[in-house]
A and B are shown apart, each in its own frame.
Chain A
Amino acid sequence: MSNLIASLDAAVARPSLPELAPGDTVKVHTLIVEGDKERVQVFQGMVIRVRSSGVNKNFTVRRIASHGVGVERTFLFASPRVDKIEVLRHAKVRRSRLYFLRGRTGKAARLRERAA
């Protein structure tokens, strides 16, 4: 019975999207509706977590916006609103949830790069 659910979930999978890992620096292209027009908005930042599985698999991107304000946004892998994800950089991390970055700014918030 639960296989049936898995097969339904598989139907919404987006194989064109890359696998993400915590520490990756990404550009997420999302479709947003502005008035009656649709345009692509890019959100660039660091993946601080990838959670859940199946249809609900999602990831959170953290970026430092203007005035040094941290902004986090969570995206669903299955969402038709996510147009494209570009992975710019991988980082060497030892944990799956990079919440420690929230308390850090500037140079302290850097991570060591890992070759893909």
Chain B
Amino acid sequence: MQGILGRKVGMTQLLTESGIVVPVTIIEAGPCYVTQVKTAEKDGYTAIQLGLGETKQKRLTKGQIGHLRRRNANLPMLRTLREFRLKNVADYSVGQKILADIFSAGERVDVHGTSKGRGFQGGVKRHGFHGGPRTHGQSDRLRAPGASSSGTTPGRIYKGKRMAGHMGDARVTVLNLRVELVDPERNLLAVRGAVPGSKGGLVLITEARKQSIEFNRAKGK
């Protein structure tokens, strides 16, 4: 599973040769650097750690600076570090640059991000409850959640009962987005459809986990 870190730029449209409009999200993906390679012998699992976003040294803590300097003097000061679990890490070495060209147009990817925070929201917005009737003598029932359980049996509220509460600002993954465009010179990826989070938000792009049957067959899985 290959992956890269990026920042959401925004949405626009592409047009195909036959004039069909394709809605796309532009992601500024990379350049990323491999900052650490985790191995089964040393760390108990295999993964690579990628860094994104060069920054000034004074913006990092001494711990972060030390981590970046420890293995390879050529790593730039990177603001964001994230890990990608991989089966085979033998091809990666610290300091290696990862660019958007690891993906090509037509491939399927999963995009992980942090959804926009909505604050404390009621059941109607958060879970799609219908609310109460507006008429027939009702008052203060318009966006009420209704009953939350039965009576004496079970005599308690089940755990996980959908109620009002904090909404958004959670990790969201969108599966199987088609890569429409790759521009390695400007580090841009365009994926079809929407991507979680606000503009400028961090997103992780990985090879799609649930590919089509045809794709898996071709790969011999």
Chain A residues within 8 Å of B, Cβ to Cβ:
1-2, 4-5, 8-9, 12, 33, 54-56, 76, 78-81
By a CB distance below 8 angstroms, the chain A residues around B28 are: 1, 4
Q: Distance (Å) between the CB of B201 and the closest chain A CB? A: 11
Taking a contact as CB atoms closer than 8 A, the residue among A2, A4, A5, A79 that contacts B15 in the complex is A79
Report yes or no: A76 in contact with B199, Cβ–Cβ below 8 A: no
Q: Taking CB as reference atom, which chain A residue is nearest B24?
A: A8
**Residue count of chain B within 8 Å CB distance of chain A:** 18
Report yes or no: B9 in contact with A78, Cβ–Cβ below 8 A: no
Residue B17 interfacial (CB < 8 Å): yes
Residue B18 interfacial (CB < 8 Å): yes
Residue B19 interfacial (CB < 8 Å): yes
Report yes or no: A8 in contact with B19, Cβ–Cβ below 8 A: no
Task: Given contact pairs A9-B12, A80-B19, enumerate 7 new A-B contacts (beta carbons under 8 Å).
Answer: A1-B7, A2-B9, A8-B26, A55-B13, A76-B15, A80-B15, A81-B19
Report yes or no: B26 in contact with A79, Cβ–Cβ below 8 A: no
Q: Distance (Å) between the CB of B35 and the closest chain A CB? A: 25
Report yes or no: A12 in contact with B15, Cβ–Cβ below 8 A: yes
Residue B123 interfacial (CB < 8 Å): no
By a CB distance below 8 angstroms, the chain B residues around A2 are: 9-10, 199
Report yes or no: A81 in contact with B18, Cβ–Cβ below 8 A: yes
Kindly state the separation between the CA atoms of A9 and B64 in the bound complex, as whole angstroms: 38
Report yes or no: A76 in contact with B21, Cβ–Cβ below 8 A: yes
Given A1-B199, A4-B26, are A80 and B12 also a contact pair (CB < 8 Å)?
no
Q: Which residues in window 1-60 of B have CB below 8 A to A?
A: 7, 9-15, 17-19, 21, 26, 28
